[in-house]
Amino acid sequence: MELFLSFFERQEVILMDQRIAAVVLAAGDGKRMKSARSKVCCELLCKPMLSWVLDACARFGLDTRHICAVISGRDDGVRELLPREMPVALQTERLGTGHAVQTATPFLTDMRADGVTDVCVLYGDVPFLDDRSLRQALEKHRATGNAATVLTAELEDAAGYGRIVRGGDTVEIVEAADATPAQLAINEVNSGIYWFSLDYLLEALPRLRNDNVQREYYLTDLIGMTKEAGRAAGAYLCDNTDSVLGANDRRQLAALNETARRRVLDRHWAAGVDIPCADGVLIGPDVEIGRDTRIFPGCILMGKTRIGSGCVIGPATQIWNASVGDGAVIDSSRVEGVSIGSGCRIGPYADLRPDCGAARSQ
């Protein structure tokens, strides 16, 4: 079974590439989400979107100290999600994506001094970004010697996305509002995720201009500016279209939740977990379940929960951050933060918490 490790655990098991770094843009507010928290704190399967992105960075092999999170500095819940040793940059004014990366210039300068050659810029609210796409895009970026490489995807419904206009060896990003009818017919879209040569990025950031209606500095302009620098820009088409999906409101967030739920269920079915009816079954992305365990309707399994083999869970059972031994039966109960031994029978209607004492095998 594939193990879903914590961000810190991944740092111990993955060989780090010391020549790469990342800037994660996480300063957006939750206005359209109607939330007091930042949008990146909104959850998929009870896990903040930003944590999904940081896990992808860890799987990819990025050292925590080589990731800079651009945050607002407001009390919006973002800082609490970051590892203590992760660098941060403050964007106190929202002046565009280019400005957000400009605030990370001291970090980027330090990274160049440490031997970093390439930097990924990504968003904290694109939760399905996968390490495979990051890796393959980096390989193409390095092989072609591009100054900038944008990750793209082909979507059936590309409404609202910037379009990728290819012409020979050139790539142009055209925002949907500025696109011609012919360009709007293009279904290859900008993910907003980039690989940059660090030398080019540090050279080009100070030259960004805000002579546009919004008076903002756009990261997309760095693609066109490669020509002025005598360099090339390219695009990597991701085969995983989910990798570019984000959410701007609660309805879109609900759609992402359903996508995440089905992906997690598919993984457990493929690993030999018996979920005969998935109605009301929510399983978090970090939950591990042994084969031949049966999950009945109405079960919520979240956090760093570990369930052994041959168990029977449910119906109507909640398990949060708990360990369940092989062959245990938990019926219509709530279990949080405790370890249940192999062969234990719990419930119905039990409520086990750390202050309730240990469950014993019968």
Instruction: State the pLDDT at residue 12.
Output: 41
Structure-block tokens of residue 202:
């540090």
Instruction: State the pLDDT at residue 242.
Output: 87
Please list the residue range(s) of the chain that carry CATH number 2.160.10.10. Answer: 272-356
The pTM of this model reads 0.87
pLDDT < 70 positions in the chain: 1-17, 356-362
Structure-block tokens of residue 219:
């990261």
Please list the residue range(s) of the chain that carry CATH number 3.90.550.10. Answer: 7-244
Instruction: State the pLDDT at residue 17.
Output: 65
Instruction: State the pLDDT at residue 16.
Output: 55
What is the distance between the alpha carbons of residues 92 and 95, in angstroms, rounded to a whole number?
A: 9
Instruction: State the pLDDT at residue 3.
Output: 36
pLDDT, tens only, 64-86: 999 999 999 888 899 999 999 99
Q: Return the DSSP state at 162.
A: P
Instruction: State the pLDDT at residue 14.
Output: 40
Is 7-244 in CATH node 3.90.550.10?
Answer: yes
What is 272-356's CATH topology? UDP N-Acetylglucosamine Acyltransferase; domain 1 (2.160.10)
**Which residues share a beta bridge with 347?**
none
Structure-block tokens of residue 347:
């419930």
Ramachandran angles phi, psi of 243, nearest 5°: -65, -15
Residue showing tokens 């269920």: 265
Spatial contact of 358 and 339, defined as CB atoms under 8 Å apart: yes
pLDDT, tens only, 286-321: 999 999 999 999 999 999 999 999 999 999 999 999
What is the distance between the alpha carbons of residues 158 and 165, in angstroms, rounded to a whole number?
A: 14
Residues 6+ apart with CB under 8 A from 89: 23, 68, 69, 70, 71, 103, 104, 106, 107
